[in-house]
Amino acid sequence: MSTPRDVTVFYDDRVLAHQPDVNTAFLPGRLDKRIREILQGLEVKWSYPEHPGRLTAIMEKLDNQPIPGLRFARGKPATRKQLARVHTTGYLDHIFELRNQNAWLDVDTTAVSPGSVKAAEVAAGTAVAAVDAVCSGDTESAFAVVRPPGHHAEPARARGFCLFNNVAVAAAHAQAHHGCKRVLILDWDAHHGNGTQTMFWADPDVMFIDIHRRAPFYPGSGNLDEIGAGLGEGTTVNIPVPAGTGDVAYLKALNEIVTPAARAFQPDMILVSAGFDAHWHDLALNVSYEGFAAMAGIMQGLADALCDGRLVYVLEGGYHTESLACGVHAVLEVMAGKTPPQPGVCGVEEVDAAIAYHRDAFLDPDRPD
């Protein structure tokens, strides 16, 4: 029998102001001309995949299929001090100079529009607000529905649609402001969280665990032997998987790697970089909605057992709006108290039903096997 839990969704519509223009020229010296020639030759109209519709789809799903007991709260912009805990001063200066501009920051699709810097500040600050609410006891757990995403953003570089590393800002805030000495970050996005890994590479007080599609899939990092360095050696845990990986492998990783690692680390708080591009609609991996929900159940159990339930999700990727909205909804249902499902291997239930339906047409019950 499920037990209702107190969960808050943090969302601020100022993050919708991030709307890059794909026709803006790249930075000098980049591959602007060659890339445009390729696209023109293919006669393909390319649009920016990380768009406001991702979040409006999530909020519309929650409005149309409300989850009992779910509360909503508004976010806030991150302060420069909060951002500077994980990003360099020079990088922040550079990003802030881009207010009210259209510009590409790199060739791997990271761009800004006039409202992007404020949106990025609000995204990071909304993750901070979620941490504040959980640590102060205002809510048992929280989900920050934010964009632009953050886990590719490095200390001094924007990458992969990401400007500020939202989950890293939230983790550093939990340590500095709430006394959470040890923070565990699980990243289940299909893409490796290279930025988060870099930020905490040598930090023994942040354990970063990442399940992702293996290189050469973007961003090409996250190999098995990338385990951190110095005092932080062993607190970076990478689990690279091949294309097609689905529920069974993901849950095996959570049960047999994430769970013992978390128990050994004994975190004061758990953060999840929750990307939903591991769903098959995004053509990277093969996780189902039930798989995401089951993973949420495992993480809730770890948070309850290890850190008084302190658990915050921060949205990362997921570019097919239907699977993104449904995946977030499935996770929130479990966070709110629904009993986690036990996913099977995709298609087996349907084949069993077909076997039962067709059995009499092809099998003679009186004929010996």
Per the residue annotation, which of 18, 87, 151, 152 is the catalytic one? 152
Q: In the annotation, is 152 catalytic?
A: yes
116-135 helix and 166-178 helix, angle to the nearest 10 degrees: 40
CA-CA distance, 288 to 249, in Å (whole number)? 12
As annotated, the active-site residues are 152
